[in-house]
Chains A and B, each alone.
Chain A
Amino acid sequence: MSSRQLIFASFAHEEDLLEGIRALRRADVKIVDAFTPYAVHGLDRAMGLRPSPLTWVCFVCAMTGVLFALWFEHWSLAVSWPINVGGKPWNSLPSDVPIGFEMAVLLGGFGSVFALLGLCRLFPGKRARLATPRVTNDRFVVVIEETDAVTTPDFVHALLEPHGVVEFEERLAEEKVPW
């Protein structure tokens, strides 16, 4: 099994991480991922991540919810077993709306959360692979892959040094580890 040479550079402050990442991207160094203790504002832009597709998952689920609920309410009370309630017409769209809305929210919410867990491969009992034990507390880490002869540790270190890197190490990772 082939392996990858990865560089882990840690920072103590979010500005340092952002500046470091910008410096790396300017130098065309391939960034595997970054790890932060909280959602750093602007990190997605700095890393050039594309907008998340989860909004569409949510929209499709919510539309499914509302359409299914409206159809089911109509079918059950007007077709399957018609019941006259307070003289309301068979086709009582206004009174079908509240449950239609609730089902849209329910499916939209659960759909997007499950899509998140699937997309990011999060599941109960998964062993966390931490870039450094302090990454969930107060460390910011960027992981770089040594793809070619230019991206040597020295080169990367020189790039990051002005940005307050506090920890710098090389590690060998298995090919399939999706860092």
Chain B
Amino acid sequence: MSHVDQELRPPLVLGDKSLGDITDDIAAPMAATPSTLWWVGFGIAFSALVLGVVAVSYQIAVGIGTWGLNRTVGWAFDITNFVFWVGIGHAGTLISAVLFLFRQKWRTAVNRSAEAMTIFAVMCAGIFPLIHMGRPWLFFWTLPYPNYRGPLWVNFKSPLLWDVFAISTYLLISAVFWYVGLIPDLATMRDRTQPGLKRSIFSFLSLGWNGSARTWHHYETVYMLLAGLATPLVFSVHTIVSMDFATAVIPGWHTTIFPPYFVAGAIFSGLAMVLTLMLIARKTMRLEDYITVSHVDRMCKLMLAMGCIVGLAYCTEFFIAAYSGNAYEQFLFRNRALGPFSWAFLTMFSCNVIIPQVLWFRAVRRNLFAVFAVAIVVNIGMWFERFVIIVTSLHRDFLPSSWSYYIPTSIEVATLIGSFGLFFTCFLLFCRVAPAIAMAEVKGVAQVKKPESLRIPQPEEAVA
């Protein structure tokens, strides 16, 4: 490879690895005993999860009254968390499916963990509508099954029902996509594990995979099909989430840009979460040769692009409110920026639009501490975005006598903490039981060079 190509096409794997090295490097963290750091992380995450379980149990026992909702603000913390977590998941699908279709080979370093993140994030998201039902054990009423009440069918015209279908499809397809991607790696793990329980499990899950070219041929086709299906799926999921709001006649909720704007925002927040996790994982799991600085650089560029799209959408909303001449729209946006919740609006705007602009500078994109800080800021900002959209649109409605404020209760905060606990507990466990990087895919893009010594065939050196 010439000097010129090196500059525009930096190697995706550093350190001149052989194929065997790649397997060893990626499989190593799974075989080693967990580090102290892992245990500390797991301890914190699990404690948070326990706190969440306690809070949710209390809430289910006592009722939705334990939340800070009131007559005016009927949706707040709970739905904010729901939209936040669904959004986090979207970057996983973007990286695994959209970038696959665009042949962005660098995705192979992060797609496995990003897909895992998608599944865990969607699980976290799913909790919130469930507990908001008040009687979560009756969740099956959302499914269209023949029943003795008529049969009274579910309301297919309701965006909330679209959500049921969208989120469950998303969870199922993401899980299948993830598992299909894992099969070859599970086979690799099977073949390098000593006989025993672990090996039996890998063997069971790897479905008898033997790397046949014919199987790979069909496998590649299915992988491409799943990517082709997951790409519009990821659009549809956040589109439908946005329609939970946009099909209402409430100023601040009803605006036609919501579908693409929510999708961009979701990917933006998800990329921030991917970066947060990757920067930790590459350090603690010694994967610096696979998740390189140039990988981080590319993800930063993508995050910056998404941030700019989100910023453009914010500005478009304000512009159209001014342009429309609609007094209610104008009041809403003035109130959003300058009203009682202006602190939330300012947090959102600076975290999502202003601060990420530092990513225009290459020096910042390649400074991992700076990137980590920006990713955390974007995570916070995107949570606030949903809070701002939901709460500021509701708290001062058409009837000034019912205007109110919203303060979350400790139960709601504990539930949010619990969802983070669930997410990180799952993620830390995942790092222990499955290869955190897609080995078979990294090998395909690593451009492992043939050592000069092997250029001449040496059959006598064959491993008998």
The short answer to whether A and B are in direct contact, CB under 8 Å, is yes
B191 contact set on A, CB distance < 8 A: 128, 130, 133-137
Q: Tell me whether A165 is interfacial, beta carbon within 8 Å.
A: yes
Q: Tell me whether B205 is interfacial, beta carbon within 8 Å.
A: yes
Q: In the complex, how many angstroms separate the beta carbon of B180 from the nearest chain A beta carbon?
A: 6
A102 touches B169 (CB 8 A): yes
Q: Tell me whether A66 is interfacial, beta carbon within 8 Å.
A: no
Cα-based distance from A21 to B214 in the complex (angstroms): 14
Cα-based distance from A133 to B463 in the complex (angstroms): 12
Of A37, A116, A162, A163, which one neighbours B440 at CB under 8 angstroms? A37
Cα-based distance from A37 to B169 in the complex (angstroms): 31
Of A33, A62, A76, A112, which one neighbours B213 at CB under 8 angstroms? A33
Please give me the residue from chain B that is nearest to A115 by CB atom. B222
B158 contact set on A, CB distance < 8 A: 85
Interface size class of A (residues with CB under 8 A): 35 or more
Of B217, B440, B459, which one neighbours A165 at CB under 8 angstroms? B459
Q: In the complex, how many angstroms separate the beta carbon of A94 from the nearest chain B beta carbon?
A: 9
State the B residues within 8 Å of A (CB): 18-20, 23, 144, 150-153, 155-159, 161-162, 165-166, 169, 172-173, 176-177, 180, 183-184, 187-188, 190-192, 203-222, 225-226, 229-230, 232-233, 236, 239-240, 243, 439-441, 443-444, 448, 450, 454-455, 457-459, 461-464
Cα-based distance from A35 to B210 in the complex (angstroms): 7
B461 contact set on A, CB distance < 8 A: 166
A47 contact set on B, CB distance < 8 A: 213
A167 touches B463 (CB 8 A): yes
Q: Tell me whether A164 is interfacial, beta carbon within 8 Å.
A: yes
Q: Tell me whether A117 is interfacial, beta carbon within 8 Å.
A: yes
Cα-based distance from A162 to B459 in the complex (angstroms): 10
Of B156, B159, B448, which one neighbours A73 at CB under 8 angstroms? B156
Q: In the complex, how many angstroms separate the beta carbon of A141 from the nearest chain B beta carbon?
A: 8
B225 touches A54 (CB 8 A): yes
A92 touches B226 (CB 8 A): no
B440 contact set on A, CB distance < 8 A: 37-39
Please give me the residue from chain A that is nearest to B214 by CB atom. A33
Cα-based distance from A145 to B177 in the complex (angstroms): 35
A101 touches B226 (CB 8 A): no
Of B173, B216, B448, B457, which one neighbours A161 at CB under 8 angstroms? B457
B222 contact set on A, CB distance < 8 A: 52, 54, 112-113, 115-116
A130 contact set on B, CB distance < 8 A: 191, 210-211
B458 contact set on A, CB distance < 8 A: 164, 166
Of A54, A72, A86, A122, which one neighbours B144 at CB under 8 angstroms? A72
Cα-based distance from A126 to B206 in the complex (angstroms): 8
B216 touches A113 (CB 8 A): no
Q: In the complex, how many angstroms separate the beta carbon of A103 from the nearest chain B beta carbon?
A: 7
B176 contact set on A, CB distance < 8 A: 109-110, 113
Of A34, A126, A133, which one neighbours B212 at CB under 8 angstroms? A34
Please give me the residue from chain B that is nearest to A133 by CB atom. B191
A38 contact set on B, CB distance < 8 A: 184, 439-441, 443-444
Please give me the residue from chain B that is nearest to A160 by CB atom. B457
B206 contact set on A, CB distance < 8 A: 128
B443 touches A37 (CB 8 A): yes
A92 touches B459 (CB 8 A): no
Cα-based distance from A129 to B212 in the complex (angstroms): 10
Cα-based distance from A133 to B190 in the complex (angstroms): 10
Cα-based distance from A13 to B20 in the complex (angstroms): 12
Top 4 A-B pairs ranked by shortest CB distance?
A126-B208, A138-B19, A52-B221, A122-B207
Of B173, B213, B214, B219, which one neighbours A106 at CB under 8 angstroms? B173
Q: Tell me whether A175 is interfacial, beta carbon within 8 Å.
A: no
A36 touches B187 (CB 8 A): no
Please give me the residue from chain A that is nearest to B455 by CB atom. A164
* Residue interface bits A6-44, CB-to-B below 8 A is 1, else 0: 000010110110000000000000000111111111011
A92 touches B216 (CB 8 A): no
A85 contact set on B, CB distance < 8 A: 155, 157-158
Please give me the residue from chain A that is nearest to B236 by CB atom. A101
Cα-based distance from A85 to B153 in the complex (angstroms): 13
Cα-based distance from A51 to B220 in the complex (angstroms): 11
B213 touches A99 (CB 8 A): no
Of A10, A44, A136, A167, which one neighbours B211 at CB under 8 angstroms? A136
List A residues 38-63 near B (Cβ within 8 Å).
Answer: 38-41, 43-44, 47, 49, 51-52, 54-55, 58, 62
Please give me the residue from chain A that is nearest to B461 by CB atom. A166
Cα-based distance from A164 to B453 in the complex (angstroms): 11
Please give me the residue from chain A that is nearest to B449 by CB atom. A13
Please give me the residue from chain A that is nearest to B144 by CB atom. A76
B457 touches A39 (CB 8 A): no
Please give me the residue from chain A that is nearest to B443 by CB atom. A38
Cα-based distance from A168 to B155 in the complex (angstroms): 65
Q: In the complex, how many angstroms separate the beta carbon of B195 from the nearest chain A beta carbon?
A: 13
List A residues 89-130 near B (Cβ within 8 Å).
Answer: 92, 95-96, 98-99, 101-103, 105-106, 108-110, 112-113, 115-117, 119-130
Of A39, A96, A109, which one neighbours B220 at CB under 8 angstroms? A39
Q: In the complex, how many angstroms separate the beta carbon of B344 from the nearest chain A beta carbon?
A: 30
A105 touches B233 (CB 8 A): yes
A136 touches B188 (CB 8 A): yes
Please give me the residue from chain B that is nearest to A95 by CB atom. B157
Of A52, A96, A157, which one neighbours B217 at CB under 8 angstroms? A52
Q: In the complex, how many angstroms separate the beta carbon of B177 from the nearest chain A beta carbon?
A: 8
Cα-based distance from A41 to B461 in the complex (angstroms): 27
The 26 sampled A-B contact pairs (Cβ below 8 Å) are A10-B462, A15-B450, A34-B213, A35-B210, A36-B216, A39-B220, A43-B217, A52-B222, A72-B144, A85-B158, A98-B165, A99-B165, A101-B236, A102-B233, A109-B176, A109-B230, A112-B226, A113-B176, A116-B222, A124-B205, A125-B204, A128-B190, A128-B206, A137-B23, A138-B23, A165-B462
